Amino acid sequence: MAYVKVGQENSAAIEVSYEDHGTGRPVVMIHGYPLDGRSWEKQELALLDAGCRVITYDRRGFGASGRPATGYDYDTLAADLDRLLTVLDLRNAALVGFSMGTGEIVRYLARYGSARISRAVLFAPLGPYLRKTPDNPDGMDASVFEEMARACAADRPAFLKDFLDVLYDVDVHRGTRVSDQAWQASWNTAVTASARAARDCIGAWLTDFRPDLPAVDVPTLVVQGSEDRVLPPEASGDRLAGLITGMKHVVVAGGPHAVCWTHPAECNAALLDFLGR
């Protein structure tokens, strides 16, 4: 485990923790909420076996990274990603994100361009825009997210329990595609995150990515579960298809939001095929 400095808060440096393993084409993996870089283990194993160099990192506020009081917006989070790519001087890299991590990819490409990036993979994508507005009538009322933030602040462990239940569709997949131990490991990770990060990241989900999407100029793969209760395909990937030129869209039958964990065979096959074995 190593660290890269991404900022300063009062007397302490803000550092992002990362792991860098293997050789070959670099693949940078950006985790979802409320997990950390270790949540990619099923994809990391497949990528390493396929001869890739795999870089995972913990978003600020999560895992082993610093826990500042600010910076839980996509401009800052994309800047953190840019700092990591710059320090490691990565070229021809593939960016792979899950859920909240797909936002960093889209904002990064819009702000910093694709000079270092060859491909993008979006698992259970966040975009294009979740807030209901006059020009986005199919979105969700902002009050839904405001209530989530209040619930997180009031009793974060209980909120995270409910969130993870929906993430994995435990009522369907418990004991088959997600064990009690895997669910517990996710909760253990989630509850150790910064309370400020856990609450403030919810507000970031309402970011409007529609202006950013035309800047996604690299081959892009979107993978999501057909039974995603957090970000259903009709609210996310189906809408992205008309906004990202040449996007490839794979829907995994029966998959929940955390499709990378519950359906690794399908996800890894799509990922490796897209990256080029």
CA neighbor of 96 nearest in space, from 122, 124, 130: 122
Q: What is the pLDDT of residue 244?
A: 95
Domain at 2-129+208-275, CATH homologous superfamily: Alpha/Beta hydrolase fold, catalytic domain (3.40.50.1820)
pLDDT digits (tens, 9 = 90+) for 252-269: 999 999 999 999 999 999
What is the average pLDDT score of the chain?
Answer: 97
**Half-sphere exposure (Cβ direction) of 124: Cα atoms closer than 13 Å:** 28
Q: What is the pLDDT of residue 277?
A: 56
Longest distance between any two alpha carbons in the chain, whole Å? 50
Helix (H, G, I), strand (E, B) or coil at 58: coil
- 241 vs 79: which has the higher pLDDT: 79
Helix (H, G, I), strand (E, B) or coil at 12: strand
Q: Above 60 in pLDDT, residue 48? A: yes
pLDDT band at 89 (very low <50, low <70, confident <90, very high): very high
CA–CA dist 172, 175 (Å, integer): 9
Mean pLDDT of 10-17: 97
Q: What is the pLDDT of residue 241?
A: 87
CA–CA dist 67, 69 (Å, integer): 7
Known catalytic residues are 99, 228, 257
Give the strand pairing for 93-98 and 26-30: parallel
pLDDT band at 242 (very low <50, low <70, confident <90, very high): confident
pTM: 0.97
pLDDT band at 127 (very low <50, low <70, confident <90, very high): confident
Structural domain boundaries of the chain? 2-129+208-275
pLDDT digits (tens, 9 = 90+) for 144-175: 999 999 999 999 999 999 999 999 999 999 99
Q: What percent of the chain has pLDDT over 90?
A: 95
Alpha carbon 240 to chain centroid, angstroms? 16
Q: What is the pLDDT of residue 138?
A: 85
Lowest mean pLDDT among 102-116, 167-181, 182-196, 228-242: 228-242
Q: Above 90 in pLDDT, residue 1? A: no
**Half-sphere exposure (Cβ direction) of 212: Cα atoms closer than 13 Å:** 24
Q: Above 60 in pLDDT, residue 39? A: yes
pLDDT digits (tens, 9 = 90+) for 177-193: 999 999 999 999 999 99
